[in-house]
Amino acid sequence: MANSLNKVTTKSILDATIATADIADDAVTADKLANAINTDIAAKAVLTGSTDNTITTVTGANAIQGEANLIFDGSSLGIGCTPSRELHVKGLDGTIRLESTAATGRTWIEFFDTSAIKGSIGYPSSGNDNLAIQQTENADMYFTTNDTERLRIDTNGQIVLSNGSMSTAYGNSICGGTDLELDTTGVIKFRTHTNQKASITDDGLCFGSDSAAVNALSDYETGSWTPTLPGGGNMGIYNASYTKIGRMVSWWAYIYPQSVPDNTTAFTIGGFPFTSNSTSNMGGSAVCGYSGSLDTDEFGYFKNTGDAVMSLYFIGGGNVGGTIQNQHITGATRYFALSGTYYTA
C-alpha cells in the first residue's frame, strides 16, 4: 500500500513516549530486551536440579541449586527424606545436634501445647552437667519396652513396676510391681506372680501376707559366748557357741569347771549371750550329754528369766527341787557337755 506506515519514531509521537499497553504481546524479542538493559539475559541466575517441593540454595554468583535432601511441602520439612512429620530427619551417626553457646549446660528441648510448657529434656543448669528429664505437668511419666509399659513414676513421685499389665501396679507404693513393692510405710513386699511370699517391716521379716509384729523374724546371728561361774571357781571352755533366730537362742557349751569352792553357794553358769525374757516360767532349759565322772542323773538345768544365768536343780532323789550348790560340784575337774534353748525379751 502506497500510504502504509512502516516506521514510527518517538519524535512522531505527541509526548515522545510509548505506553506499555500499546505494545503487542511477544512484540519485544529477547535480543531487544537484552540490548535495552545493556546485558545478556543468559548471564542471569539459572535454577538447576529442582523438582517439586525441593528447597533451593544459591551455589554461585549466577546459580541456584535445588537441594535433593531438603524437601518442604508447605507444612513439613524433610532433611534427607520426604517428610512424614512436620520435621523428619533421616541419616546416620549423630543425626541431630544441639549445641550450647555456654561451656556448661543450658541446652534442652522443650515441649509445649497451645497454652504452656509440658516438659523438657536436656541440660537446664549453667552450674553443672546434670541431664534432666522434666515432666512439668501434674501427671505421670512412664517407660516402655516392646511397646509395653514397664515402669512408671506417678504424679506423687512413686515408682511403679509392671510385668506388662498395669492392673498389677500398686498405687500406694514408693516402688511397686508384680514381684517387688516398697510401700509408703517403708514395707518391702516380695511376690511371685502377684502372690505375696514375704515382707520386711519395721519389726523384721514376715512370711506370706502376715504383718503382725509378734510373728516378725527380727534377727539372725551366730557366734560364740564365754560361760562363767558366778558362784566362784575357774571356768575352762572347750567350745561355746550359739545361733539366734528371731527371739529364740540355741546354744552349746562344752565346759570344765575347776577349783569350785566347797560351800553352799548356788552353782550357776553365767555369761549367756543374751538376756532371757522375763515371762514367768519361760526362761528355758538344757540337757547334759556328758559329765565325765560326775553323776548328773538327777540334775536339772533351768535358764533363769530376765538375766543371763542358768541355775541347776535336783529333779530326782531326796533333794527334788533343791538347788545344786558348789559343794555338789567341788573336787576334781568336772565336765559338762550342755545344749539348750531359751527366748530373749
pLDDT score of 94: 80
Provide the mean pLDDT of the chain.
84
pLDDT higher than threshold 70 for residue 4? no
Give whole-number Cα distances, 285 to 215, 227, 312, 337, in Å. 23, 16, 10, 14
For range 150-170, the mean pLDDT = 70
Percentage above 90 pLDDT, the chain: 48
For range 146-151, the mean pLDDT = 84
SS (H, E, C) 100-120: CCCCCCCEEEEEECCCCEEEE
**CA–CA separation, 304 vs 270, rounded Å?**
10
267 is written with which cell numbers? 552353782
> For cell 539348750, what's the residue?
340
Give whole-number Cα distances, 180 to 147, 148, 204, 220, 331, in Å. 22, 19, 17, 23, 62
At residue 200 the predicted structure's pLDDT band, cuts being 50, 70 and 90, is very high
Question: Which burial class, exposed, middle or buried, applies to 276 when counting CB atoms under 10 A from its CB (0-12, 13-18, 19+)?
Answer: buried
Q: Rounded to the nearest 5 degrees, what angle is found at the Cα of 211, between the Cα atoms of 207 and 212?
A: 110
pLDDT higher than threshold 70 for residue 56? yes
Cα within 13 Å of Cα(141), Cβ side: 15
CB atoms < 10 A from the CB of 52, how many?
A: 7
pLDDT higher than threshold 60 for residue 5? no
Of residues 93 and 9, the one with the higher pLDDT is 93
Most confidently predicted of 32-41, 74-83, 227-236, 281-290: 227-236
Within 8 A by CB and 6+ apart from 217, the residues are 204, 205, 206, 207, 245, 246
Q: What is the CA radius of gyration of the chain?
A: 49
- What are the phi and psi torsion angles at 174 (to 5°)? -70, -45
pLDDT in tens, 14-34: 565 666 666 666 666 666 655
Within 8 A by CB and 6+ apart from 275, the residues are 306, 307, 308, 344, 345
pLDDT score of 86: 92
**CA–CA separation, 227 vs 310, rounded Å?**
10
Q: Rounded to the nearest 5 degrees, what angle is found at the Cα of 198, between the Cα atoms of 177 and 219?
A: 130
**CA–CA separation, 194 vs 23, rounded Å?**
91
DSSP per-residue codes, 126-146: SS----EEEE-SSS-EEEEET
168 is written with which cell numbers? 498389677
Give whole-number Cα distances, 241 to 227, 245, 253, in Å. 10, 14, 7
pLDDT in tens, 211-224: 999 899 989 999 99
pLDDT higher than threshold 70 for residue 164? no
pLDDT in tens, 237-296: 999 999 999 999 999 999 999 999 999 999 999 999 999 999 988 889 999 999 999 999
Of residues 199 and 178, the one with the higher pLDDT is 199
CB atoms < 10 A from the CB of 302, how many?
A: 18
For residue 88, the cross-strand partners are 78
Query: Are 179 and 191 within 8 A, CB to CB?
Result: yes
